[in-house]
Structure 1
Amino acid sequence: MSVWTDFEREVVIDGENKMEEKENVSLDRRLFVGNIGYRTSEKELKDFFQKFGRVNRLHLPKDHYRKLPRGFAFVTFSTAEEAQMCLQAEDERLVLQGRLLRVHMAEQSKRVNTRRYENNNNNHDQQVLVSDSTEVTDLGTAKEMPVFNINIPDELWEKIFSFLPLRDRIRIERVCHRWKKLALRLWKRQKSLDFYNTFRRFESLTDKMLNSILKRCGPILKSLDLSSSPRLLTDYSMQIINKYCPSLEKLDLSGVDATNISIRDLTQDLHTLKWVRLQRCLYIGEKGLWWLLHNNKDLEYLDVTGNIKLTGQCFHMIGPKVKIMVLKECKKLCDVGIEKIKDRCVDLEELYITDCCLLTSKSILTITQSFSHLRILHCGGSLHDVTEETWTQLQHLKLLEELNLSQNCGLTDEAVVAIATGCYNLRVLDLSGCHRCLTDEGIQSLSLLGNLTKLNISYLYQITDVSLNHISTTGKLQQLIVRACSDITDTGVEDIVFNCPQIQLIDVSGCIQITNKLIQTVISLTHDNTHQLLLNVGGTCVVNEELPPLHTSLSVSLQDYSSYYLRPDKHLLLPDPEEDDDDDVKEDTPWYGQPQASGVMVAAGYEENIWEEEDCDDQFDDITDEFLDNDDCLAAERWEMS
């Protein structure tokens, strides 16, 4: 690249000045012409204006896409007199191809000519221009304004940039060289990256965007979360992560359309993963998980919720450091998978196997006999063929702190008593929906759990206030959920509030024997509480208009959180809310399913329907008697037989 001399610069600047003067002088000879046909060529237009004088220049702008004229042009004549002659011409002389041309004097362009000024790099890096140095007044004169310079250190700029969203952090790189340098320096200290609240409604992260961002911060990145915008990501994104993130430890690919091959490409050179979440990754099967477990022996957390292809055969490659496994809704997971986990993960602490419908009693026995360090166990959702004796074996999990057995109808009182006796460290327990065999005898045994803070016993229609009275003796309960328990009354809930001073949530939605008396008692019992108590009484007999004034420590919600279809006693207690609407439709609509029952007579408990066959024998006799003699003789018989 050649370097210009001072003389060459002067020649160029002088040439630009002359061009500007020439343009200003030619304004009195230049005309703007509008309403030109879109098929008119530049030659035809020039020949048309030659009758007014010599045309030095004609500019006909064209569309960039269609390459057709835009309907206007600029015509420059040799003299100003010729331009005035065209302006003063009659309309008949300005008709071209059936269009009357609009001719006006051309005006100076409103575009501002900007120049690049060479500033001192040192002053540019240390100063920020706050306002322009000149201001144009109403009279058109330039008024000198003071220039305010603010010295902001780089550390403060980086702190400000760290609060910006990802979009703005990329945009500031285009402002100046200094900001770009600071932004890139900030990217190099980025250890965690997610895309929550980054894209608008129909936008999403793409492979190209991911490549551009990871190129800036990938080498130092430790955590990457793609679950908030996985819609447009493809298999190529796995190669991008493998290329730019060699030290990645935490990865969330929930919802990404990854496959077995892409997981192999991801983990080919990436062996530092410790935390992986693959929720709703429907195309990843046994082979993909095999590659993941084979190449990452330091894995501690694995979440494959909703995987419809996982059977558990790949778990023989899992590392011994795994502490947490989330296998919820894995419909094909079988007992073999639990056996392989037992052989490899001796120190497993958390296991989630809710809605794994193919697991049997063998898996539960394996868990109770082998995972002695287990702290959290979720095995709700009606596991297949789990007997009463199997549930009692849960008492051997001495370190268990959280247990979820919801919707397991085979759970009995004996099993709950065994759990309450052996798992004395339980803090969270969920027995909701286990209504078939659970009674007060089993629930009363929960009073042995002195550390119990959260309890869910919803949809157990056989329990009464006696159970709540025994549970309240622990004194440490903080959350109690007792939805749709028809025999629970105000007395049982009052015992909970009185004996558990740390209670923060009581949900009795759908308990039809709860009344306004409970609200008044709770107000008096919690008047001096320092913490907030939320009481959910939706779907009960509590009347909103009769609620007394509440103090600041108590909040009452009338929202019904209970599910009508989970109630085991719905056919005895409450009508189906949707059936009420259907009954209204049946009453108002004559032909809803069957003809309108206007002829049904009810007397002394006997209902007679005119649509029965025995009542319709003689209804059309008057029609059959009017057959003519020349009609088909078998017509009456076919009519009666029909």
Structure 2
Amino acid sequence: MEGAWPHVLSRLPLEDVVRCRRVCRRWDSYCGHVLRTCRSLDVEAQCGATISDPLAIASVVDQCGRSLQSVTLRVTAKNEKYSVLSSECHVTSQVIRSVCRRATRLRSLRIDRMILTLGAIENFVHLPATLQEISITNCLISCSTYDVNTIIQASLQKLLDKCTRLVTFEITGRGLCFDHFSLDTAVMSRISNSIRNLSISAGNSLKIDELSFLKHKRLESLTLRRSFISAACLPFLVEMADSLQHLDLSWSPNLLDCTLIGQLPNLRSLNLGNNRDGVTDESLDVIAEQCCLLETLSVENCSHLTQRSLQKNSGVSNVDDEVLIKLAMCSQLNFVELNFCRKVTSRGLLTLLRSLRNLERLEVLGIRGYSHQLLLSCNHRVPRSIVCDSSIPTFSFPIPPIPGTASVVSA
């Protein structure tokens, strides 16, 4: 029976296991064994009462053993509208020191919607070299002066120099969250060649104008929003054509020609939104013809596109059947929005439906060429979800005559 207690206690929530240590010495020993064998710690999910107290978080981490391989420090927003804003909970030097001291074989560190103090970032250099994932999202980094920025950059550089097995590196959030923090190529050049997923979106804090730090990398996913790269930087992406599948270069004001992106045939998702001058009909035609595996394409607010452009944004009246015929070349697309594209007829829709065999959702509000009879002409299963005018049910019911009024008979 004695040997069953550790097994029983291991079924309890981690927060209850910590409390059970206070029962007696024997339970303290049993619970200590359970905590020492814990491999993953999500503080909010497993010990929610401690997330607002850095000392309590550090205490929980200290009770875990060297088996700990994943640590998640996050605060989930109660209202999704505020999910991109930091909470008032802090990650301090005590927390990071505890992680460094106990999780000597740590592989993943995720921090979301927390306030990162300078002391915490300074202690990043002591994180183990076994790290494969570093994710800092929607956090507030305390960087009040440019001198503090120098300290933060030095700490990140040492951490990246140390982590030679890094697979995922992510720093994302709004520019105001980073204050005087500056993320530039001096930091990015330290990333190991083992990296596969790189996501950098630090708002106005991002100071990247070239991509030489991607040389010899084999990325599968790259997000680089609000950077200052130009068309001359795109050859570094072409070198990763055999591996790159997801690319986000939105809000890049200096990217005036996107044609070379067409040389990335394995792309499955592409976001070029808000590049008002860089996305033209010609460049988008090349991308659509050569990137045949595309499942998601976003060209929102690209003002130079005309009726020849492959658009999915609602309210673009210039889209016509020729656009849909070209769009049909992207055979892996699973979502198409054509709302109020009034030049589209049944011919273009039929071509689209017959070609896109993975299409799951279609939106065709305001398009007269669409009808349920059109679906019967298609020799393929229909999309699972269709949003259209004719799908809105109509109801008819009799209205009783108003008492005391005579019936009106037309001659």
Q: TM-score, normalised by structure 2?
A: 0.75
Query: Structure 2: how far apart are the matches of 1:534 and 1:167?
Result: 42
Closer, same or farther: CA 265–204 of 1 in aligned 2, 3 Å? closer
> Alignment RMSD, CA only?
3.6
Closer, same or farther: CA 483–301 of 1 in aligned 2, 3 Å? farther
Partner of 2:142: 283
Closer, same or farther: CA 435–542 of 1 in aligned 2, 3 Å? farther
User: In structure 2, what residue type is equivalent to 1:263?
Assistant: I
User: In structure 2, what residue type is equivalent to 1:338?
Assistant: L
Asked if the contact 2:44/2:50 (under 8 Å) is kept, the reply is no
- Where do residues 47-196 of structure 1 align in structure 2 (5 Å cutoff)? 154=4, 158=7, 161-175=9-23, 179-196=27-44
1:225 corresponds to 2:72: yes
Closer, same or farther: CA 495–521 of 1 in aligned 2, 3 Å? farther
Asked if the contact 2:135/2:169 (under 8 Å) is kept, the reply is yes
Q: What is the deviation of 1:527?
A: 12
Residue from 434, 437, 461 that aligns with 2:305:
437
1:461 corresponds to 2:317: yes
Instruction: Give 3-state SS (helix, strand or coil) of 1:184's partner.
Output: helix
Q: What is the deviation of 1:439?
A: 2.3
Residue from 214, 223, 228 that aligns with 1:342:
214
Asked if the contact 1:251/1:277 (under 8 Å) is kept, the reply is yes
Closer, same or farther: CA 514–432 of 1 in aligned 2, 3 Å? farther
Q: Between 423-432 and 185-194, report the one with greater CA deviation.
A: 423-432
Partner of 1:478: 334
Query: Structure 1: how far apart are the matches of 2:33 and 2:373?
Result: 62
Closer, same or farther: CA 398–491 of 1 in aligned 2, 3 Å? closer
Query: Structure 1: how far apart are the matches of 2:320 and 2:9?
Result: 59
Instruction: Give 3-state SS (helix, strand or coil) of 2:385's partner.
Output: strand
Partner of 1:297: 164
Instruction: Give 3-state SS (helix, strand or coil) of 1:170's partner.
Output: helix
1:339-372 CA-partner distances (Å, limit 9, x unpaired): 3x134x532332111233x333333354345776
Q: What is the deviation of 1:524?
A: 5.2
Query: Structure 1: how far apart are the matches of 2:10 and 2:255?
Result: 53
Q: What is the deviation of 1:304?
A: 0.9
1:314 corresponds to 2:182: no
Asked if the contact 1:497/1:525 (under 8 Å) is kept, the reply is no
Between Structure 1 and Structure 2, how many residues are aligned?
369
Whose Rg is larger?
1
Partner of 2:287: 419
1:351 corresponds to 2:222: yes
Query: Structure 2: how far apart are the matches of 1:154 and 1:532?
Result: 53
Q: What is the deviation of 1:210?
A: 1.7
Query: Structure 1: how far apart are the matches of 2:345 and 2:47?
Result: 50
Q: What is the deviation of 1:300?
A: 1.9
Closer, same or farther: CA 298–197 of 1 in aligned 2, 3 Å? closer
Closer, same or farther: CA 470–546 of 1 in aligned 2, 3 Å? farther
Query: Structure 1: how far apart are the matches of 2:356 and 2:294?
Result: 17
Residue from 255, 271, 279 that aligns with 1:386:
255
Instruction: Give 3-state SS (helix, strand or coil) of 1:252's partner.
Output: strand
- Where do residues 618-629 of structure 1 align in structure 2 (5 Å cutoff)? none
Q: What is the deviation of 1:378?
A: 0.8
Closer, same or farther: CA 179–423 of 1 in aligned 2, 3 Å? same
Closer, same or farther: CA 333–546 of 1 in aligned 2, 3 Å? same
User: In structure 1, what residue type is equivalent to 2:387?
Assistant: N
User: In structure 2, what residue type is equivalent to 1:296?
Assistant: C
1:141-194 CA-partner distances (Å, limit 9, x unpaired): xxxxxxxxxxxx617x62x54453332232333455555444332222211111
Residue from 213, 219, 234 that aligns with 2:92:
234
Query: Structure 2: how far apart are the matches of 1:206 and 1:267?
Result: 23
Partner of 1:256: 114
Where structure 2 has 5 or more consecutive residues not aligned to the other structure, the ranges are 77-86, 144-151, 397-411
Where structure 1 has 5 or more consecutive residues not aligned to the other structure, the ranges are 1-124, 127-152, 444-454, 548-642
Query: Structure 1: how far apart are the matches of 2:350 and 2:287?
Result: 27
- Aligned identity (percent) is 18
1:326 corresponds to 2:199: yes
Instruction: Give 3-state SS (helix, strand or coil) of 1:220's partner.
Output: coil
- Where do residues 627-642 of structure 1 align in structure 2 (5 Å cutoff)? none
Q: What is the deviation of 1:219?
A: 1.4
